[in-house]
Amino acid sequence: MDLNEKILQRLDELITTGRGLISEEGGASITPWEAWRASAQTLVAQVAGERSQYYTQFAERATRPDRRGRQPYSPRTAVAILEAVRDDFAKGWLRDLRELAAAEVFTDFLDMAEHLDSERFHAPAASVAGAVLEDSLRRVHLKRIGEWKGESSISKLNDSLRRADLYGQAVWRQIQVWGDIRNDADHGHFEKVDAAAVKQMISGIRDFLAKHEG
């Protein structure tokens, strides 16, 4: 069972449990409901993102009202939202949206790296670009192979992706070089961080994202 199947299974479990907690009047017992809400809300955040309408609406409907009674609390609506999350995730819509959001974040950080590099802060630029690369490799690994287990690094992820034949030896070798530049920057070996190499690294990572994150 891959990660997506596990997520769908967990969503199904929570939907079934949530339905069982709702009374005929539409209410729910406080303690069991709060335990369920905590688990379900965490999963919605992981699947759809905390900035999504799914998360916002679920949090509003699943949270019991305060003393003023102004919270739009509705257990039935909360479960219905979870069902919608499950349906859209199964169809691939949520994964596509999360990947688009991640691509926007990566672009922002690479823009930051370019600015740092243009201001001659080459080591910080390499460090930021390297962080984007490692996160991208982790995401490609999740999508193509499965969730990475244990401590990760550019080198480890790159080796795993190469063994899976997701790209050729030339790409693997270039990523190893970028990883070395990032390591030199992170460990204070600034004399080894070449300005031209950092500029090429940022441009190369942009190309890698376009080809493998698109």
28, β-bridge pairs = 22
> In terms of Cα–Cα distance, which of 159, 161, 168, 170 is closest to 141?
161
Q: Are residues 98 and 180 in the same domain?
A: yes
Q: If we measure between CA atoms, which residue out of 209, 208, 126 comes closest to residue 168?
A: 208
Q: Considering 62, 91, 120, which residue would you say is the last residue of a domain? A: 91
Residue 91, both tokens: 């169809």
Q: Are residues 114 and 196 in the same domain?
A: yes
205 and 180 together in one domain: yes
- Whether 111 and 32 map to the same domain: the answer is no
Counting beta carbons within 10 angstroms of the beta carbon of residue 74, is it exposed (0 to 12), middle (13 to 18) or buried (19 or more)?
A: middle
| Domain match, 153 and 181 both | yes
C-alpha–C-alpha distance, residues 136 and 102, integer Å: 9
Model pTM?
A: 0.53
What tokens does 168 get? 């050729």
- Do 76 and 112 lie in one domain? The reply is no
What CATH code is carried by the domain that includes residue 165?
1.20.120
Does 126 share its domain with 61?
no
Query: 115 and 32 in one domain?
Result: no
Looking at the structure, do residues 16 and 70 belong to the same domain, yes or no?
yes
Q: Are residues 27 and 86 in the same domain?
A: yes
Residues 77 and 134 in one domain: no
Give the alpha-carbon dihedral of 100, 52, 111, 124, to 10 degrees: -120
Domain residues for the domain of 78 are: 3-91
- Please indicate, yes or no, whether residues 151 and 77 belong to a single structural domain of this protein: no
Domain endpoint, select from 65, 91, 117:
91
Nearest CA-CA partner of 41 in 10, 71, 5: 10
Domain boundary among 91, 121, 153: 91
The Cα 128–Cα 181 span in angstroms is: 11
Structurally, how many domains does the chain consist of? 2
Give the burial class of 91: count Cβ atoms within 10 A of its Cβ; 0-12 exposed, 13-18 middle, 19 or more buried. exposed
- Residue-level pLDDT, tens digit, the chain, 214 residues: 555 677 789 899 999 999 999 988 888 888 999 999 999 998 888 788 777 888 899 999 999 886 665 568 899 999 999 999 998 888 877 755 455 445 555 567 788 888 888 888 899 889 889 988 998 898 889 888 888 888 889 999 999 999 999 999 999 999 999 999 999 988 888 889 999 999 999 999 999 988 886 5
Look at residues 107, 179, 89 and name the one whose alpha carbon lies nearest to residue 137: 179
Backbone phi and psi for residue 194, each to the nearest 5 degrees, phi listed first: -85, 135
